[in-house]
Structure 1
Amino acid sequence: MKIVYVPIDERPCNVDVVQRIVGVTDEVTLLTPPDHLYGYKKEAADQLGMREWVQRVNDCDALVLSADMLCYGGLLPSRLHHMTDTDRDTFIEWIRTLQSKTKAPLYVATMIMRTPKYSSDDEEPDYYGQFGAEIYRRAWLQDRDERDGLTMEEQDELANLNELIPTEYVVDYETRRAFNRSINEAMIQLVEEGVIERLFIPQDDSAEYGYTSIDQTDVLRQIQERRVFTNVHMYPGADEVGATMVARAFLDKRGTKPRVYPIWSSVLGPTLIPMYEDRPFIESMYAHLDAIGLHLVQTMEEADLVLAYNVPGRTMQESWDQDERDVTYTSFRHMRQFVTKIESALKQGKRVIVADSAYANGGDQELIMWLDELNVLEQLDSYKGWNTNGNTLGTTLAQGVFAQVGKRERIRKNVFYHVLDDFVYQAKVRMKMTDVVLPKYGANYFDLGRHAEAISQERNQMMTEVARHVIRHSFQEAWTVNTSAPWNRMFECRLEFGGTSQ
């Protein structure tokens, strides 16, 4: 099977990780754009070059496309552009023309633009560095006022925010959101027309109230009015969507619907709302299963995949706070029981995939140590535990799909990759380096300056030391790790490792 894949941006999580997920099998060839067409962070990709490249690819079985890349030039440019209605109409007509010239189905992703609750211009317009938290809070209060009403204190807060935030910033921000919303509406119409086979609308950094919630309500209305709810999927997420779409295209082509049985690490966990999202874990699970084309079953015996879902006990924290974790990670959760169920499923010959969402932005050390101690870490079909719950869950399910037809050693190597990246780097090393290493170079979390290579060398050493300290029974062959900083910051790293058997 040959799949054309245009990601939402050039970061490893959207390119390298998806290639690794698919790469466990020889049954799928994933075609991605040449490197020179991609942009860099806030610098837009060559949209026209991307479109021309897609049109030149012949004889494929599915087209998996990011509207954010092909329309705006990437995820961050979608938050910064000044595009016109003419630009929008040209893009929409291009999709219609593409579909008319190919027999392959179109799987398209389009984002609901995020509104971070903190002030930072690393990924947003410049003014968001000064007024980001206020812009978020203002919309949150406005939305809550319309839906549920505000207290007197909240009314005063809203009035103060309206005075504080310069009007031109609000106009700029809301004008761009309106344009992006019009793109999403156009994509929904193309589903109704039969141009797009299946549409995916992840909500990036979503919340119960505010701009994202307002846009979500508009999108839901459009979906219902056009009666396309069977072919449009909307859920919390973003960077996992490429893996989700590729897996869905694969399953649609095969005509299969693998059965999934979930096991949870806590009783309350399924009902909790994870950080950066707007609904309980269990509702996100339903949405992701539906999007990727998997079937939920009631018993382990009838399952093709066992989803081991590691969630908080009652309170969710950032992964780098594990050394001072909330007591409910222990009192409202029993890790021994959870990993024993994983061990039992493996002994029954079941394929087990682990979604490690107990913490935000990194894996759970207690889980990793237990899996290592029981010598089951290398038997898993997938381990993921990165960024948001939606990111972790979507890529976990996608890996489960391809692992069913994958080669064991490639699967094993992929598990190790994510143990190193999602747990060792993101949970253990990233913030320690930010506190200890970066000051030596005069660098900061969002800008490594000219010292990225030297900092990455220190990261390589620190990751190796942490990994070999925590992981004592698994992946014992000689290996080396080499990292770099794709966007010259600490948030993510490009990871390569060698020395493992092929």
Structure 2
Amino acid sequence: MRRIWYGMGMVLVLLGLFLPAADCLAARHAPRAETAADTGPRGKILFIPQDNRPTSGMQAAEVVRHLGYEVVMPDRDMLGGLGKDGDTEALWNWTQENARQADMAVIAADSLIYGGLVSSRKHEIPADVLRERADRLRQLHQVHPFLKLYAFVSLMRTPRSGEASGGEDPDYYISYGEKIFRYTGLMDKAEETGLQPDEQQEAAGLEQDIPAEVRKDWLERRRRNLEVTKQLMNFVREGSMDYLLVGKDDNASLSQTHRESRWLKKYGQDIPPDRFRMTAGIDEFALLLLTRAVNQRERRVPEVAVCYNEGKGGDTVPTYSDERLADTVKTDLEVAGARLQGEPSQADLILLVNTNPDGMTGEANHVREWEAAPLNNGQDRSGTAPFLQLLHSYLQTGKPVAVADVAFTNGADNALMRHLEREGMLFQLQAYSGWNTATNSIGFALGQGILACRMKRDAADALLMTRYLDDWGYQSNVRTTMAIRIEQMDDPQIYLYLGGYEQAFAEEASQLLVRFARLHLPRLERPDRLSVTFPWHRLFIAEIGLSGEDSGAERPKNEQEGRDER
């Protein structure tokens, strides 16, 4: 595990990084349509997440529920997790039962076929069983031909190393992951441009270094998964599925994932782009497809203007991706059923993408002075002032603004958030996202921003509060403080699996988040009721809830202070 920080002195710096802000300034809000919450649901959506994590499941569903839709989800016990396979038979039975009353279905095929996202990387399921499970989606269409069916599936990832795999891949990846990544990257390059003599020699050496049984297991599972994905693409061809989205999970420009994506692109070149897409990412797909389902039901095509920070901007190729941000944004807009608008004044929503001018995407927990990477220590960087200027200029137009905060991976930009807090702009935004990878953040900001334009102000603010608690409070600050605690214990594996320390760490994380909320999110009622738990028994995946409730952040105070409903 990479060492995160040094020095216990940084603990106090983290939690006292910003001065408590004054009361938020009164915000300008454009008029918005009322939701249908008071007149019954606008429609019923059957939703199967890819696993039991809160962000890709419950939090995605909450966005659509705030718009007035009924979203039904299976019990979390049926879903997969880090060390738990989902119950594919129970999920299929649940799907058949609940599809009868649903208007739309957004389904993670990984859950129905493999038992979840992580299970798709480790399974030992025979090919014929996989084909039978995949065929259930075609059967679903046959039985319910008027059910709009939107599905997404992951293309197996290729982590850069065993450390980067985080225990979510076969055990041998810890020892051979770095070599597997390099070897398959060379195979990818060999097919695209050919290898130089020294690269050919390196590839031959790596093939010898990686045990034959490891290579066979790794590539054979991928081959089976690839055939399943082609089967799903065939369902789209024959009209048994309305839309299929394939995600290149934790990807790189030269890797086995990128290699397979080229094969699938060729295989699906005859499928219309309004029926099939493949793009970087995976965890944001649920919300993007929920947004698409809503837009198509309401026969809307929102227009979104996109503006990047100065410097490389849209040409940034972020960590865990093999494509430019501008390409990801373009595809995500199409997936969500929206359209790119070149003139911001004509747009329904303006998406601002916070990038570093040099195109680097650092880690949200990074503050080490001796490494050449952006530091997330709350101090202004070269891109801070120009992005704030961009944000000010668009907020002044009165147009709804969403922020995709991707200057850092796996958390919010502390410098940006410090300014948003001090200048009272936190709740002037339409939507915000800064969690996990850059592609995850962009997709979530887009989906939430598009739908929040049709919500009441208090609903949009409740969703913002969830993101601020998770992406800013926990991921960029509390989690880093906890990582320092782990470093002192001289056992870095605790970061990946908390084991017997989980309860104590959950209590400490809860206390730190309560303190953070009191300092930086005074609009939150009863911050003392906040709690942090770890559904995957690891520090990176946290669920933020309220005492006595299952999950979700508390709604902010309904302060008027000059705030009109949108």
Do the structures match in fold with TM over 0.5?
A: yes
Distance of aligned partners of 1:430 and 1:104 in 2 relative to their CA distance in 1, 3 Å threshold: same
Structure 1: distance between partners of 2:304 and 2:367? 30
Larger RCO: Structure 1 or Structure 2 (Cα < 8 Å, ≥ 6 residues apart)?
2
RMSD between aligned residues:
2.2
Gaps of 5+ in 2: 1-42, 546-552, 559-566
1:460 — aligned with what?
510
**TM, length-normalised to structure 2:** 0.83
Query: What residue identity is the alignment partner of 1:105?
Result: K
Structure 2: distance between partners of 1:398 and 1:189? 27
Q: In the alignment, is residue 352 of structure 1 matched against residue 396 of structure 2?
A: no
Distance of aligned partners of 1:36 and 1:428 in 2 relative to their CA distance in 1, 3 Å threshold: closer
1:108 — aligned with what?
151
1:142 — aligned with what?
187
Give 1:319-330 correspondences, 5 Å limit: 319-322=364-367, 324=369, 326=373
Structure 2: distance between partners of 1:281 and 1:331? 23
Q: In the alignment, is residue 430 of structure 1 matched against residue 479 of structure 2?
A: yes
**TM, length-normalised to structure 1:** 0.94
Distance of aligned partners of 1:412 and 1:281 in 2 relative to their CA distance in 1, 3 Å threshold: same
Query: What residue identity is the alignment partner of 1:283?
Result: D
Query: What residue identity is the alignment partner of 2:417?
Result: I
Query: What residue identity is the alignment partner of 1:65?
Result: I
2:263 — aligned with what?
218
Give the SS at the match of 2:220: helix
Report which stretch shifted further, 440-449 or 245-254: 440-449
1:42 — aligned with what?
83
Distance of aligned partners of 1:228 and 1:498 in 2 relative to their CA distance in 1, 3 Å threshold: closer
Q: In the alignment, is residue 297 of structure 1 matched against residue 297 of structure 2?
A: no
Q: 1:397-435 CA deviation, whole Å, 9 max, x = no partner?
A: 110122122231222122122112112221223233122
Counterpart pick for 1:15 among 47, 57, 69: 57
2:277 — aligned with what?
233
Structure 1: distance between partners of 2:115 and 2:375? 43
Gaps of 5+ in 1: none
Query: What residue identity is the alignment partner of 1:32?
Result: M
Structure 1: distance between partners of 2:375 and 2:166? 34
Structure 2: distance between partners of 1:210 and 1:299? 37
Structure 1: distance between partners of 2:461 and 2:430? 7
Structure 1: distance between partners of 2:466 and 2:148? 32
Q: In the alignment, is residue 406 of structure 1 matched against residue 455 of structure 2?
A: yes
Give 1:145-160 correspondences, 5 Å limit: 145-160=190-205
Give the SS at the match of 2:56: coil
Give 1:154-169 correspondences, 5 Å limit: 154-169=199-214
* C-alpha deviation, 1:270, in angstroms: 1.2
Give the SS at the match of 1:308: strand
* C-alpha deviation, 1:118, in angstroms: 0.9
1:89 — aligned with what?
131
Structure 2: distance between partners of 1:454 and 1:9? 25
Distance of aligned partners of 1:62 and 1:499 in 2 relative to their CA distance in 1, 3 Å threshold: closer
Percentage identity across paired residues of the two chains: 28
Q: 1:272-315 CA deviation, whole Å, 9 max, x = no partner?
A: 21111011111111111111111111222111101011112112
Structure 2: distance between partners of 1:192 and 1:494? 39
* C-alpha deviation, 1:62, in angstroms: 0.6
Report which stretch shifted further, 120-129 or 474-483: 474-483
Structure 2: distance between partners of 1:334 and 1:45? 43
Q: Contact 1:108–1:200 at 8 Å: present in 2 too?
A: yes
Structure 1: distance between partners of 2:54 and 2:490? 25
Q: In the alignment, is residue 31 of structure 1 matched against residue 63 of structure 2?
A: no
Structure 1: distance between partners of 2:513 and 2:143? 49
Structure 2: distance between partners of 1:358 and 1:79? 29
2:421 — aligned with what?
372
